[in-house]
Structure 1
Amino acid sequence: MKTCILVINCGSSSLKFAVIDALTRQAHLTGLAERLNDASASLTFRQGETRDTRPLEDGTHAGALHALIGLLEQAGLLPQIAAIGHRVVHGGEHFQASVLIDEAVIAQIEKCAKLAPLHNPAHLIGIRTALECFPGLPQAATFDTAFHQTMPEHAYYYAVPMALYREHGVRRYGFHGTSYRYVSQEAARILDKPPQEASFVCAHLGNGASVAAIRQGKSVDTTMGLTPLEGLVMGTRSGDVDPGLFGHLANECGMTAQEINDLLNKRSGLLGLSGLSSDCRELEQAAAEGHEGARIALEKFCYRLAKHLAGQLVAAGPIDALLFTGGIGENSAWVRARAVAWLEHFGFRVDASANAVCVRGQGGFIHAEGSTPILVINTNEELMIALDAAALAGVL
């Protein structure tokens, strides 16, 4: 019986992939094709202890997938592929769970492209190419927005004319849902509670960052909104700003809507505040060496994070644990400690020794005695996508 699932996460200039056995949950092959549509396009992969990088003669998405097929044949994995799972950022209100892909699903993903113009078009390239390269294999889509479709109206409406919602879909959708689904289920397992009885506030911190309130296994609020720009300070995204800033920049600086959008998405956040880097690791080192911009950026990042963590406690109600995940959430003991320090009067305190250990793949409890539990959990979105695809394809 075939039990392996090929997971594809297609970006505008990259294609991340993994081959995961849905029964054992083990990854047999992982990799990344990057700098696609450029002369320097390359494919990096890892299988067991073997890691290799090779140039791509055809640096398109189709070329990357054909190269991946060659890797699968070489590794003897191609005959074991039972289905393909695709990550899709935006599913709008139409998708509340993962689905098998057909023309109607593709049409809906296209319809949502205006809400995620940097993501959904790239996903569609990956889906269409995979359908051509793997004819006959069941293929499924897992949506970052689906987990948040349980948010109540008071959480997802914006206070703007309702016609904008009814006619243009202007509402809060939320993202990182696949990660939140995995992490909340894993936290419930660790705490020995049924997922549907467990409540958490969870911070997914990376170049993109958000916080979600999960009450009895369901998302009831999150910090990202119509787009991934809302909420926390991020690597290059501003997060929350006064909406009046748009008119101010247009009037005072003569900036167009596209220029303002690029400024807030690509040149703000940690990068904009520090004037140095969007990488938290570089900023922590620079701040320790006295770089004022890095210090300001990190302090703002942690302060905004703490404010949103506190805010999501309103939605979540009494929680079983505070959760950290994502590249920064899993690896920056400093960020975790600084953010939680702002929350001491809410009953959260970090144990410095336990916190210091939880880096480079090591998860676990990091709270001090008497504190509400605080957990670091390594997310695994690829596994969730693989399990969804396997279930829809009848593998599980």
Structure 2
Amino acid sequence: MAINSGSSSLKFKLYEMPAEKVCVSGIIERIGSPEAQFSINNKTKTLAIKNHEEAIRCLLTELLKQNFIDELNEIVGVGHRVAHGGEFFDRSTIVNKKEFARIEQLGELAPLHNPVNAMGIKVFSEVLPQSIQVAVFDTAFHQTIPSYNYLYPLPYSLYQKYKIRKYGFHGTSHQYVAKRAAEFLKLDFQEANFITCHLGNGASICCIKEGKSFDTSMGFTPTDGVMMGTRSGGIDPMIFPFLEKNLLLDVNKIEHIINKESGLLGISGISNDFRDVQNSARNGNELSKIAIKMFVRKISEYILSYTSELKRIDGIVFTAGIGEHSAYVRQQICEQLTCLNVKLNKQKNDDNDKLISSKNSKVKVLVIPTDEELVIAKDTYKLVHNLVNV
């Protein structure tokens, strides 16, 4: 089973391996809401789900109830997307006590994700004690970023002592969609250059040079970079001591504001869900309109900044919830890239086709659905298979 826990969602797929046959798939969205959406094999129901632990138990109960499995011990391995691996993990790994403790420790750097990821590992370990738990790290793909891109202009001693640096996230997604884009365009991935845009409740942009991550928007934590659902993205760091001094806020409160009260939610005052903000903007809400413009502008800035890193751009790739489904956002972003001579085919963009740029566009623009779960399942199968056959 592949588990992909986001800050407010839990995607899942149960595979028969090594055939890569999907037995069942789905997603639980808006976790923490009294109207969470539980979709399984395209059938959706609404129910209250308080947290990720409740979501996992609900999922396993549903698999048994609908006879996707006869008993829980049929699930041999569970692969978990884990946001932050620090410099400790440069590849997927089987999770034992030592690895689990490290993942929990790294929760300080990814407060919206690692605690949720660790909870998933813990719950699955308890409910499925016979299964092997595997962690697949968002940060692993970004270990190729050169030091002049991952270091911050702070005293170098802070990096040496505390490993304060850019780590990047969504690496599994960025790598997957770039490889699929290279296959579609009949390019050698090891020679291909892409700018990939993973746009969901969490969002990041990645500069991929010759098949390797060269730079990315998220940094020391998943809070840096572009504006997101509830996260601010990159802002002036002196805002933090200002809030502390003038509003008498402690570090925990400031962290809560930056991670859970900012972004689309903070500006619009409506929601962290882009669909809700867009509907509000259509109905004339000015703050929602501003929030969308801010979101688009920041993404465009990153894309433009990465063009200086690449001798050529083989493609700009959109993926994840907003990137795959919002033709409006893709259009708005590409309109900011006129200096690159990027041109969309309106009909193809509206239809969410794979190649949405027009024939006379200098840069190809693609929409590639991400499949982090398949990557997770393949890594999990490989590690479980090797362990069983030792």
Q: Give the TM-score, by structure 1 length.
A: 0.87
Q: Which moved more, 1:330-339 or 1:251-260?
A: 251-260
Going from structure 1 to structure 2, the CA distance change for 1:62 and 1:356 (only over 3 Å counts) comes to: closer
Counting only pairs closer than 5 Å after superposition, residues 352-391 of structure 1 correspond to structure 2 as 352-358=346-352, 362-391=353-382
In the alignment, structure 1 residue 107 sits paired with structure 2 residue 101: yes
Distance 2:154 2:198 in 1: 28
What are the superposed Cα offsets for residues 53-78 of structure 1, whole Å, 9 maximum, x if unpaired?
Answer: 7889x975784476366348654485
Indicate the SS of the match to 2:317.
Answer: strand
* 1:213 corresponding residue in structure 2: 207
- CA gap 1:290/1:192 in 2 versus in 1, 3 angstroms: same
For the aligned residue pairs, the C-alpha RMSD in angstroms reads: 3.1
The whole-number CA distance in structure 1 between the counterparts of 2:333 and 2:31 is 37
Q: Contact between 1:235 and 1:269, CA under 8 Å: does it hold in 2?
A: yes
Q: Which moved more, 1:143-152 or 1:342-351?
A: 342-351
> For residues 247 and 55 of structure 1, what CA distance do their matches in structure 2 show?
38
User: Of 248, 261, 271, which aligns to 1:267?
Assistant: 261
Question: What SS class does the counterpart of residue 116 from structure 1 fall into?
Answer: coil
Give a deviation string over 1:192-226, Cα, whole Å, max 9, x none. Answer: 12221211001111111110001111111100011
| Correspondences of 1:233-252 after superposition (within 5 Å) | 233-252=227-246
Structure-1 separation of matches of 2:232 and 2:272? 11
CA contact (8 A) 1:330 1:363 kept: no
CA distance in structure 1 between the aligned counterparts of 2:111 and 2:278, rounded to whole angstroms: 32
Quote the residue 2:16 is aligned against: 21
Q: Is the 8 A contact 2:355 2:364 kept in 1?
A: no
In the alignment, the residues of structure 2 paired with residue 219 and residue 394 of structure 1 have an alpha-carbon distance, to the nearest angstrom, of 28
CA contact (8 A) 1:72 1:78 kept: no
- Number of aligned positions between the proteins: 386
Q: What is the Cα deviation at residue 252 of structure 1?
A: 2.5
Would the aligned equivalents of 1:34 and 1:41 in 2 still touch at CA under 8 Å? no
TM-score, normalised to structure 2, is 0.88
Residue 200 of structure 1: which of 177, 194, 197 is its match? Answer: 194
The answer to whether the Cα contact below 8 Å between 2:190 and 2:211 also exists between their aligned partners in 1 is: yes
Does residue 129 (structure 1) correspond to residue 120 (structure 2)? The answer is no
Q: Relative to 1, partners in 2 of residues 1:302 and 1:67: Cα closer, same or farther, differing over 3 Å? A: same
Query: 2-side partners of 1:393 and 1:258: how far apart?
Result: 39
Paired-residue identity, %? 38
Distance 2:29 2:367 in 1: 29
Secondary structure of residue in 1 paired with 2:287: helix
User: How many angstroms does 1:385 deviate by?
Assistant: 0.5
| Per-residue deviation, 1:329 | 0.8
Residues 264-322 of structure 1, C-alpha deviation per residue, up to 9 Å, x if partnerless? Answer: 22222122222333222233333233321122111111111110111122334422101
Quick one: which amino acid aligns to residue 279 of structure 2?
A: Q
Question: Relative to 1, partners in 2 of residues 1:63 and 1:221: Cα closer, same or farther, differing over 3 Å?
Answer: same
**Does the CA-based 8 Å contact 2:344-2:356 persist in structure 1?**
no
Q: Distance between the aligned counterparts of 2:64 and 2:220, measured in 1?
A: 39
Indicate the residue corresponding to 1:190 in structure 2. 184
Aligned to 2:172: 178
Counterpart pick for 2:345 among 348, 351, 359 = 351
In the aligned structure 1, how far is the partner of 2:153 from the partner of 2:170?
24
CA contact (8 A) 2:107 2:114 kept: yes
Q: Compared with structure 1, are the counterparts of its residues 366 and 35 closer, same or farther at alpha carbon in structure 2 (3 Å cutoff)?
A: closer
Distance 2:133 2:266 in 1: 40
Distance 1:209 1:12, change over 3 A: closer
Q: State how far apart, in whole Å, the 2-side matches of 1:215 and 1:167 are.
A: 30
- Which amino acid counterpart does residue 86 of structure 1 have in structure 2? H
Contact conserved, 1:15 with 1:64, CA < 8 A, in 2? Answer: no
Q: CA separation in 1, counterparts of 2:243 and 2:47?
A: 45
